[in-house]
């Protein structure tokens, strides 16, 4: 028997989450059984712990869209007992039982080896948010962004993706302008390497002009909505925005003018179905380019019992940085 966070749906349509003891026979069928060591809390996790958000189709359910741990058994030759592994994406924790459990059973195709130089705890301090941040930075670099081109904007900078993006970009030598609506996070963001803080209110107002002054050499955007539309009109010629989230809304009240007159690129970043080769490249870059000391500044620890409250908190935008869940604590 082992502990897992079980979310149940009641006859009135509401859900509740509690830590329960279950057996291996409850786990879904798949090739690899992992002794989970650490997981994290992401926005999707908040939805899956709470209202479901259309992500969870079947109850009871174990959320947790990422985890790191040690292979316990495997029928796939790519993994053997004792291997350290990481999982992000593939709708684990949504359509498939996830990492909020001391054991998980998943497909071998969904796992990647733990990168050399990282512990399982550090890998989950990175987690889906940090993996997505690195994919965004890589996409911007692949489209020509280099240090010295000018300031790089990071929106939603105090959140999980934004925090890691800020630390990575600063470590690589970029001048990072961090956008936040929470003035109290300014010291935290400067500690991660931000060169300056931009108030959310300065970018959240929709204006009628499709183009403004050329300001940003790149952008990692976790907000979307009106803010993204505004930022597109402020990008330098031929630069790119990597879109990773929609905290400010899914609609994009923009014009095509920035694309046509300034050659701006809008790059969509998906981390869920990313091919294996891209995953290896991103995790290798994370091990190389994410300063571990800065990573520790982002982390707050948690246990399985803390998750119902943390799930509600992240939906309200009340989580700063990264939450690392020790499922065995």
pTM: predicted TM-score of the whole model, two decimal places: 0.93
How far lies 188's CA from each of 95, 157, 183, 293, in Å? 35, 10, 10, 13
- The sheet with strand 265-268 has its strands ordered as 196-199, 176-180, 152-154, 218-221, 240-243, 265-268
pLDDT, averaged across the chain? 95
* Fold (CATH) for 2-114+295-326: Quinone Oxidoreductase; Chain A, domain 1 (3.90.180)
Q: What does the pLDDT read at residue 47?
A: 95
Q: Please list, in sequence order, all residues whose beta carbon lies within 8 angstroms of the beta carbon of residue 84, skipping any fewer than 6 positions away.
A: 68, 69, 70, 71, 113, 114, 120
How far lies 140's CA from each of 54, 146, 266, 308, in Å? 31, 9, 10, 36
pLDDT > 90: what percent of the chain? Answer: 90
* pLDDT confidence tier of residue 63, bands split at 50, 70 and 90: very high
pLDDT > 70: what percent of the chain? Answer: 100
Task: Determine the Cα–Cα distance for residues 214 and 234; give it in Å rounded to an integer.
Answer: 5
Same fold? 2-114+295-326, 127-268 = no
pLDDT of 325 higher than 80: yes
Q: Where are the domains of the chain?
A: 2-114+295-326, 127-268
- Give the pair of three-digit tokens for residue 221: 């955007």
Mean pLDDT of 35-50: 96
Max mean pLDDT range (11-15, 69-73, 289-293): 69-73
Partners of 235 in the β-ladder: 216
Tens digit of pLDDT for each residue in 108-167?
Answer: 999 999 999 999 999 999 999 999 999 999 999 999 999 999 999 999 999 999 999 999
Task: Determine the Cα–Cα distance for residues 218 and 201; give it in Å rounded to an integer.
Answer: 20
Q: What does the pLDDT read at residue 269?
A: 98
Q: What does the pLDDT read at residue 320?
A: 86
- Give the pair of three-digit tokens for residue 188: 């935290």
* pLDDT confidence tier of residue 68, bands split at 50, 70 and 90: very high
Task: Determine the Cα–Cα distance for residues 270 and 27; give it in Å rounded to an integer.
Answer: 27
Q: What angle do CA 90, 93, 94 make, to 5 degrees?
A: 80
Q: Which CATH number fits domain 127-268: 3.30.70.2660, 3.40.50.300, 3.40.50.720, 3.30.450.40?
A: 3.40.50.720
Residue 109 is classified by DSSP as G
Q: What does the pLDDT read at residue 54?
A: 87
Task: Determine the Cα–Cα distance for residues 232 and 216; give it in Å rounded to an integer.
Answer: 9
Q: What does the pLDDT read at residue 115?
A: 94
pLDDT of 207 higher than 80: no
């Amino acid at each position: 028997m082992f502990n897992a966070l079980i979310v149940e749906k009641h006859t009135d349509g509401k859900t509740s989450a509690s830590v329960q003891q279950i057996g291996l026979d409850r786990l879904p069928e798949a090739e690899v059984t992992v002794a989970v060591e650490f997981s994290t809390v992401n926005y999707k996790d908040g939805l899956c712990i709470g209202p479901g958000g259309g992500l969870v189709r079947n109850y009871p359910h174990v959320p947790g869209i990422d985890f790191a741990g040690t292979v316990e058994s495997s029928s796939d030759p790519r993994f053997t007992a004792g291997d350290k592994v990481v999982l992000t994406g593939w709708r684990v924790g949504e359509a498939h039982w996830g990492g909020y459990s001391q054991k998980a059973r998943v497909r071998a195709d969904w796992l990647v080896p733990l990168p050399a130089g990282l512990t399982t705890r550090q890998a989950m301090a990175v987690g889906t948010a940090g993996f997505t941040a690195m994919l965004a930075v890589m996409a911007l670099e692949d489209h020509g962004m280099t240090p010295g081109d000018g300031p790089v904007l990071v929106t939603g900078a105090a959140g999980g993706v934004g925090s890691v993006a800020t630390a990575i970009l600063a470590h690589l030598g970029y001048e990072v302008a961090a956008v936040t609506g929470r003035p109290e996070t300014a010291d935290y963001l400067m500690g991660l390497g931000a060169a300056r803080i931009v108030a959310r209110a300065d970018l959240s107002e929709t204006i009628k002009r499709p183009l403004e002054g050329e300001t940003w050499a790149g952008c990692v955007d976790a907000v979307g909505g009106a803010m993204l539309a505004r930022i597109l009109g402020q990008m330098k010629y031929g630069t790119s925005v990597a879109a990773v989230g929609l905290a400010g809304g899914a609609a994009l009240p923009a014009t095509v003018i920035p694309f046509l007159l300034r050659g701006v690129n809008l790059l969509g970043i998906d981390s869920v179905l990313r091919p294996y080769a891209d995953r290896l490249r991103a995790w290798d870059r994370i091990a190389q380019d994410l300063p571990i000391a800065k990573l520790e500044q982002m982390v707050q620890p948690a246990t399985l019992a803390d998750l119902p409250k943390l799930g509600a908190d992240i939906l309200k935008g009340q989580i700063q940085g990264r939450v690392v869940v020790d499922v065995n604590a």
